Structure formats: C-alpha cells, structure tokens
Amino acid sequence: MTTSWRVPFGDLRRSHQALTADLIAAAGRVIESGWFILGHEVAAFEQEFATFCGARHCVGVASGAEALYLALAAAGIGPGDEVITVANACMYDVAAILQAGARPVLVDVDPATQNIDPAAVAAAITPRTKAVIPVHLFGRLADMAAITALAERHGLVVIEDAAQAHGAWRTGADGQPRMAGQWGNLAAFSFYPSKNLGALGDGGAVVTNDDQMAAQLRRLRMYGWERKYYTSEVGGRNSRLDELQAALLRVKLPHLAAANAARRERAAWYATALADLPLGLPVDEPGHVYHLYVVTLPDRASRDRLRDHLLANGIGCDIHYPVPTHLQPAYADLGYHPGSLPVTEDLAGRILSLPMYPELTYEEIMLVAETIRAGGIW
Ligand SMILES: *Cc1c(COP(=O)(O)O)cnc(C)c1O
C-alpha cells in the first residue's frame, strides 16, 4: 500500500474544486435562514430532482439504504411477502427487505452486464412474490423492459435501486429514452458523496409517479405525521434529507449531466487503451453513466495479482463487491450456499474496479493502462 497515490481511486476534492464558492454560499444561505429540517431547500431540491428524472414526485430521505426501506414500506411490502433481488450489490437491498419483514429471494445476474437476469426473475416468482428490486449496477440500467413486462404480468411492484445510476437511461418500447426512476413504481437514490450525484454527507431520495405513495413516504420519513404532532401512520421513523445537504445538492445537480458525459468519455479512453488486453471491459451503451469502471479478469488468481500490482504501483482500485450477499455469514440463514448463484459467485472472484470519476485526466488513464500492461499478468 502506498501513502501517496499516483492515481487515486477517488478524489472528491477535485470534484468540488470548481464549485467551492457556490457550495459555501449555499451552506451560508441555510445557516442564515435558521431553518434546518424540511424547509425551502429540500422542497426545491425535490422539485428539481423530480424534474431531472422525469418523475412526478421526489421525496428526500436520509440515505439510499433508507430510500430502499421506505420504498418497500410505501409499497405495502411486509411479513409473508417475497421480494426478488440480486446478491452482487453489497447487501443494501437484502437488509431493507428484511427490515420490512419480507423474505429476500436472490437471483443470478447476466454474465455480460452483471445486472439482474430477467429469466432468473421469472423462474423465482411464486404466489407470495410481491416485488422485484433490480439494481442498476455500476451505472448501467438493468433490462427494465423485460422486468417491467414480467412485473405487469404477475402484478409485482418494481422498485429500482438507482443508487449508482443518477441520469442513466435506456430506450423504452416507444423508442424514447427513459431515465432511471421512470421505469419502476418507485426508485431509490443515494446521495452518498461518491455517487454520481453526491451530497457532502448522507442523503437519499425516493422518486415515484404515484401520488398516494409519495404522500405516504412524506409521512413515513417523519414519525408517521400527517401534520405536526398528528399521526395516521404506524411505523414512521426519522429519515429526512436535511436542508444543508439539499442546498449543496442543488449546487451540484445542474452539473450532473456534464459529469456523466465526462465519465462516459473516460470510459471510452479506457476502452481504447485496454482493447488489446485479455480483460473483459464493461458493455457500453449510450445511457451507461459509469458510476464505476469494472473490468473482469480471466480468473481469481489473475484478478488478485493485478489488484496487488496496481496498489503496489500507486494506482487505486477496489472490488465491488468481494463476497456476494448470500455467502456473507450474516445472511447464512437465508438458505443459500456456494453454487446457488454461479454467475454472481464467478464474477465476484474476477472483477476489479479501476479509477473512474469526471476529473480523471487522460494522462492518468494512460498511466493506469500502462501499469496494467506492465504488470506481467499475461
Ligand atoms: C450506495 C448504495 C446504496 C446505499 O446508499 P447509502 O446512501 O449509502 O445508504 C444502495 N444501493 C446501492 C446499489 C448503492 O450503491
């Protein structure tokens, strides 16, 4: 491990450099207002983010994890219900499903895109299945045309986990681009600092076109209150986006589309620089926003060798994620075992995330590529 990176895996100071004055002004505005919880800034951000996603409602909440739980609660998912999701997205979804009192049913992913496999979803549907949570992993939309068609046929609620996919899109059946948040009944977003749209702390949102669910989400995030000190909802909690984070997000949102375009440009640089190596590169499509740039190696040994080589040479890299949910000791009693999800398990041993952020320079990407090439892995 080096102390000073030649190419850091992430660097949020760079992303904020050009925005520092605006961020400080926004924070100052909130401090001077004397109003810190559910005020003008949250309402304005909700409006702006709903518009960005092309949805009717956005409800700001405390985090992406909370957004997933609250979306399940608003959809009426609870004990006795089964919810289908993936095991390659770091436990967030399974944790939320268990919090809601429902049973997580884990299915395998498509080997090329690493997103939920619609055929596996179809095979996992039982009379108790109430919802499916596709994760738009690494910034690429899941096969939402297939998932929403299945959901319609079986009366399932679709909750998009869009925590890695702000601004990602795919073409719908009508030939029009449809954004993350426009496909499901509900979509959960995270504004964790390193996401494509990140706060300067924790934050999240649920996006929906459903008026009733939006109203219920607003109650659930604040103790179940209908209005101050009056409740009509059991099971409310405190899960609010705060004014300060909303004000900071309002500074960053207008730059999201350009930041996503910059990520795509960097993905193209990588693809050219790495083309002749025996690495599996991400499957590109125009609406992929590259939250992460994840390559696949031939096997676990070569992946581990390349990771060690890059880290030893000051190139940041990471594994998203090293142990699938169903093989985590905490979730052993879900009833899965090694071999239950062969594609998910195989990929976990072969993936490696390279540095990817809008401010990464061309020279840095060339240095990453040269370092990979010099590694003698092949
Ligand atoms: C980051 C993330 C979450 C959780 O978001 P937090 O804001 O950190 O709670 C959920 N799902 C996915 C896919 C994520 O990447």
User: 174 C-alpha vs ligand 1 centroid, how far in Å?
Assistant: 30
C-beta 163 within 6 A of ligand 1? yes
- DSSP conformation class of 20: H
Q: Is 195 marked active-site?
A: yes
**Are 158 and 147 contacting, i.e. CB atoms less than 8 angstroms apart?**
yes
Show pLDDT as tens, one digit a residue, over the chain (378 residues). 446 899 999 999 999 999 999 999 999 999 999 999 999 999 999 999 999 999 999 999 999 999 999 999 999 999 999 999 999 999 999 999 999 999 999 999 999 999 999 999 999 999 999 999 999 999 999 999 999 999 999 999 999 999 999 999 999 888 999 999 999 999 999 999 999 999 999 999 999 999 999 999 999 999 999 888 888 888 789 999 999 999 999 999 999 999 999 999 999 999 999 999 999 999 999 999 999 999 999 999 999 999 999 999 999 999 999 999 999 999 999 999 999 999 999 999 999 999 999 999 999 999 999 999 998 776
Distance CA 116, CA 338 (A): 19
Contact 137, 88 (CB under 8 A): yes
Q: Cis (ω within 30 of 0) for the bond into 321?
A: yes
Instruction: Compute, in angstroms, the gap from residue 167 CA to the centroid of ligand 1.
Output: 16
Confirm or reject: Cβ of 89 under 6 Å from ligand 1. Answer: yes
Backbone φ, ψ for residue 91 (5° rounding): 75, -15
pLDDT at 234: 81
Element (H, E) at 133: strand 129-133
Tokens 């509900």 found at: 186
Determine the distance separating the centroid of ligand 1 and the alpha carbon of 163, expressed in angstroms: 5
Instruction: Say what the pTM is.
Output: 0.97
Tokens 């949910």: give the residue.
325
Count the Cβ atoms, other than its own, within 10 Å of residue 11.
17
282 CB under 6 A from ligand 1? no
What whole-number distance in Å separates Cα of residue 206 and Cα of residue 337?
A: 33
Domains and CATH numbers, the chain: 13-107+114-254 (3.40.640.10), 255-373 (3.90.1150.10)
